[in-house]
Amino acid sequence: MTRCVPLTLLFAPVLAFAQTVPNPPRFETYLSGFSSPIGLTHAGDGSGRLFVNQQGGALRVVRSGALLSTPYVSVSGTNPSLQCTYPGDSSPSTVGFTSGGERGLLGVAFHPEFVSNGRVFVSLTDANGDTLLMRYTAANPAADVLSAQDLATCTVVLRADQDFSNHNGGHIAFGPDGYLYFGLGDGGSGNDPCNRGQTLAPNSLSNSGDCAVDANFTANGGNPDSRALLGKFLRLDVDATTAVGSGELCGRPRTAHPAAYGIPSGNPGATGTLAAACDEVWSYGVRNPWRFSFDRETGDLWMGDVGQGAREEINLEPSGAGGRNYGWRCREGTIATPGASCSGAPVVAFTEPAFDYGRPNGACSVTGGFRYRGPVFAAQGQYFYGDYCSGDVWAAASSGGGGFAHPASALQNVEFGITSFGEGEDGELYLVKSGGSLLRLNGARTSPDFIFADGFETSQ
């Protein structure tokens, strides 16, 4: 239960602190020294560490405000011979690693029980340019570097054949239900030429021209049906396994092998809501979901989806509301996609975004953020997000009816290169810049009436 401290007991130091902080809250430089950072997360282990994934393959550790010199793990360190074991195999195979453009070390997620099981998951682009989800197990979860023994635990969890070299998505995060969520882009190029976003059934996949399955992918046992995962959000039970021949698992790493994940009960792709879809599918109709997050109070899922040429969108999915169709390639934000070929009714009616915005002032690519639940009082309940190109950062506040709208003006401009937002264990919100720095949201950390001893206020 949250504990309160009367303001009168802390008035003097609070007043002194308030005179040195920005009002309204703003992002200010916190730490630099990274190389092309594109994500930030924490281990949920009480250590207070931040983990920053660099596109080139290194996962860096920040402890007590200092950047440690040795990465937690570097998937590019043995490039091109990154080794990982497929479920059912007795020895590792070469999977390799590719970075550059929109490829690289794209996502990192620590298991909710990391303290006891040591499991950490990474999403990356393999040597063939395809999407790979892997798992490491740390023998000592408190260590700041994975040991050689830990690296040998690498297990391939899921593979997906990528049509082109962009729109990889790749962000992963555990939801409040304990399952792993995985956002995949539509496979790339422009305007979704293979129509992956709206294709649910593997037997309806486009296979002509550039949309044909990659022979190198299938030669290594890859499932051609994995292309039906593109343009989708997946939900996986990574504490389960699936036997050979069981379930419609399109992301099974090798078709004749078991899988190192199972399907949560209630997945729309497995329960009939989206009966034609792969079992892994949670929702669909996204172009390139670039950063999503869960509201730590409500469990709602917030996601940024990068537009084609006209609109950038933020989608809001109430907790547990899977099976939605976010509209791509037929819809771009709140408008019909210019020039899109869409006929007939969709399998599931389109869900409009929470809000969208156009492309003034050099905007070009939304970076999804977080609904703020940290210690800065004036920021409580606002949804923070930005644009990679323009450098604008916005804070969308809930209206009286619970809806959100794109603000008329930006909170601030931090210049080009907003690649991600991330939360610390304590609720502090960070902004990640491609040039190599982290910014942290700063502002008065008090309520006008009282201060919470644990750093958080009640529900907003």
- Which residues partner with 73 through β-bridges? 59
Question: How many CA atoms within 13 Å lie on the side-chain side of 117?
Answer: 12
**Strands of 429-433's sheet, edge to edge?**
26-32, 437-442, 429-433, 418-423
> CA 176 to CA 180: how far, in whole Å?
10
User: Binning pLDDT at 50, 70 and 90, where does residue 236 land?
Assistant: very high
N-to-C CA span, the chain: 16
pLDDT of residue 77: 64
pLDDT at 382 over 50: yes
Q: Is the pLDDT of residue 390 over 90?
A: yes
Q: In the prediction, which pLDDT does 13 show?
A: 38
Average pLDDT value over all residues in the chain: 92
Q: What are phi and psi of 321, to 5 degrees?
A: -90, 65
Residue 15 has pLDDT above 70, yes or no: no
> What's the confidence (pLDDT) of residue 21?
72
* Residues 282-306, mean pLDDT to the nearest whole number: 99
- β strands within 205-320, DSSP E: 232-236, 281-284, 289-294, 301-305, 312-317
What percent of the chain is predicted at pLDDT more than 90?
A: 86
Whole-number pLDDT of residue 80: 53
Give the mean pLDDT of 214-229.
Answer: 96
Q: What residues does each domain of the chain span?
A: 26-442
Predicted pLDDT at 20: 65
Indicate the pTM of the whole model: 0.93
Q: How far apart are CA 364 and CA 99, in angstroms?
A: 22
By three-state DSSP, how is residue 25 classified?
coil
What integer is the mean pLDDT of 225-254?
A: 96
Whole-number pLDDT of residue 352: 98
| Residue 248 reports pLDDT greater than 50 | yes
Q: Which residue has the higher pLDDT, 61 or 20?
A: 61
Give the chain's length: 460
Closest Cα partner for 263 from 253, 255, 276, 250? 250
Express each pLDDT in 165-176 by its tens digit: 999 999 999 999
Thinking of the domain 26-442, which architecture would CATH place it in?
6 Propeller (2.120)
At residue 16, does pLDDT exceed 90? Answer: no
Reported as a pLDDT band with limits 50, 70 and 90, residue 304 is very high
Specify the pLDDT at position 92. Answer: 95
Query: pLDDT per residue over 351-379, tens digit each?
Result: 999 999 999 899 999 999 999 999 999 99
**What mean pLDDT is predicted for residues 347-352?**
97
Q: Would you say residue 239 has pLDDT above 60?
A: yes
Give tens-digit pLDDT for 268-283.
Answer: 999 878 989 999 999 9
